[in-house]
Structure 1
């Protein structure tokens, strides 16, 4: 439908001013996205108001950009971070011919979708414990013929995947419990705690993934987990103790650290 002419109160300058007043650091870029998304002046008012109240931009828009894809993101679902694109890059470099891919702790399914988009025809599975994330992921990987399972880590996966997985990506929560309260309000107030809180040292879920990975990976298969630079040395030790050949890949550009474990 045609968009009615904007009144002065809906001008780009007024939208930028409203976003700046709300503390949005990238007000100009966000204003462009909101102006493009709004079909009517009333809808624009609603979008700007929701963003000004602190709702993550991706939840306001209903999507997040990730590795060239537009990933649907519903309110209450973890927003994929741009630094996690480094995890995808490392996964593709490790196993460019993988035919079975699993995205654990999948959230919106962004990692699984990006891997399937790059690899082409793969058997794709994703899993998350949060029902809202599962619904969202199903939207994002349906086009790749993927399946999304609801449940706790490996317990959610079909038994037929044991020993067959070439790429296992697990974007686990890794914020220490005591630091969750210091996260930006956008994450702390609008994303599920299960996607953020990694336990006392931030590595609780990573330990569980490492402990179970070898039973699911094919020979030579890889498991990749994002973590922080401070946690990376301990994460490598955890992977090695689980019988995996482990190393850390680092991106200075994205301040990203990915632990890579390979099954013998």
Structure 2
């Protein structure tokens, strides 16, 4: 299994990261993609990936929450990061009109800049979208044919949005949100619409601990070792054999991030 979205630079992993990684391996994970959300965290993700070769890889980018930090110096540093072999995608980048920690204008400019970098470096894009699907599609569409591939990470949207993303040939990342009876119930119905070669799985650790896990973990911190539970939930919703789902998502993720199987 490959977890395509883990925030290992988060301070909640500071005290026991080696144990977290060992438990992930024991749970059957073969690779983790560490998410870069700003320049500092992208640099930290790269350092981590160099420390655990052939197990950790990473992305480098500026999250829409941090879009206001996208200045000329940030672009220079991002360009330097994208030359590193451990960095397998541009991102996390995109639009988040739910919280608007950066203004929509700043978010759109940062997103376009990163799409252009992905085209230039011919790297896939690891994308974030919340309450912004129309503008998101408008911005992505001109670049999609020039990109190797792109994924909407932690998809939580509607069936109509999923259909639009699939029509654009985007990949879809599903997290433990699908295990949340309060807000993820609709995903159980529409996850079956995602083709095998477009579906990838992720924990988004330390966020989004699967709420339906029993027994419930003592800590609210999500970890990569819980990915098998998310995979099982997705497989059941798709009425698909679990091993087939794992094999397909691993193959898709290897191809998407250009990993060595």
If you compute each CA radius of gyration, which structure gives the higher value, 1 or 2? 1
Tell me whether the two structures share a fold, i.e. TM-score over 0.5: no
More strand by share: 1
Instruction: Name the structure, 1 or 2, with higher relative contact order (CA <8 Å, separation 6+).
Output: 2
Q: TM-score, normalised by structure 2?
A: 0.33
Q: TM-score, normalised by structure 1?
A: 0.33
